[in-house]
A = this chain, B = another copy of it.
Amino acid sequence: MITRNPAGAKKPVTIETVTADSYRQAKDRLRDAIARLGEEGRFRLPSEAELSTALGVSRATIRSALQSLQKEGRIRRLHGQGTFINRHAIGIGANLAEASPFIDLLEQAGYRPGVRTLDQRVVALDQELAASLELPVGDRALRIERVFEANGEPAVHSVDYVPANLLGDHPEERDPRRSTFEFVEVGAGLSVCYSVAEVRPVLPPRPVVTALDVKRSHPVLRLRHTHIRANELPVAVTVVHVNDDYLRFSVIRTYLDQ
């Protein structure tokens, strides 16, 4: 459901052009390095210059990767003291502040992940959706209902609403196997920049009871995302219900200005 957005990273930066790939590789390798250092009981990271040399990527890329890891709460940076690993944050699986695809989260949790599209159709926006998308009530949107599976069992129910005017002609003919954001990014060149997600504990509504095969009395985590693109306009709404028997989120809450 969620894909990283390379658009901004392809723009020129102060020193050089950072491609999404080198950035992602640097971040993955930094993660590995952090895990290794943590296991060895070393919680202070080498300098940006040393990391740049060791991983063979530019300092701008290292800096971006460090900023991202800091924002996720994995590391903390103290002026004049260095960069430190938040040891207890290394191991947590599904970080709520980190926008990862459910497929990846389920795989990281040790499951064989899968996804099924239950329904795809064009709907008229009701008042609540229209307000979130800053569009008139009654405007058309593509509604995509999917289930993410863990070892073939339904674990996450997801409904995306994407304004039809972002999808060009005949939105209902889109390939249902492609991700919603692939539609939006590839189809309309409008990339998701951040999402605001309301986090609620709820009893599953009827369609979720059926789709996730849970009891009506089984509480689930409801995440209602409004996805915002770089021009600050909302681009889509995604309402997710998570059966936390399969996927349990954590969040790093930091106190100190780091």
Chain A residues at the B interface, C-beta cutoff of 8 Å: 2-5, 7-9, 11-14, 18, 23, 27, 43, 60, 63-65, 67-68, 70-71, 73, 76-81, 86-89, 92, 96-99, 191-203, 217, 219-222, 225-226, 228, 232, 234, 244, 248-258
Cα–Cα, bound, A191→B257 (Å) = 13
Besides the contacts A3-B255, A201-B202, what 15 more A-B pairs have beta carbons closer than 8 Å? A2-B255, A8-B78, A9-B257, A14-B79, A60-B79, A73-B97, A86-B194, A86-B228, A86-B232, A92-B196, A97-B251, A99-B255, A195-B253, A225-B253, A251-B251
10 contacts between A and B (CB under 8 A): A5-B256, A7-B256, A67-B258, A73-B97, A194-B256, A197-B251, A198-B250, A199-B250, A200-B248, A217-B217
CA distance A225 to B192 in the complex (A): 31
**Taking each of A23, A87, A228, A254, which has the highest tally of chain B beta carbons within 10 Å of its own beta carbon?**
A254
Copies of this chain in its oligomeric complex = 2
Question: A interface, by DSSP: helix, strand, loop or mixed?
Answer: mixed
Residue from A92, A232, A256 with most neighbouring chain B CB atoms (10 Å) = A256
- Which residues of chain B are near A70, meaning CB under 8 Å? 71
Task: Indicate which residue in B12, B63, B195, B248 contacts A198 across the interface (CB closer than 8 Å).
Answer: B248
Q: Determine the chain B residues whose CB is within 8 A of the CB of A14 once the complex forms.
A: 79-80
Q: Is the CB of A13 within 8 A of B193?
A: no
* Chain B positions within 8 Å of A191 at CB level: 256
Query: Which residues of chain B come closer than 8 Å to A96, judged between CB atoms?
Result: 96-97, 199, 251, 253
| In contact, B203 and A217 (Cβ under 8 angstroms) | yes
Expressed in whole angstroms, the minimum distance between the Cβ of A250 and any Cβ of chain B is 5
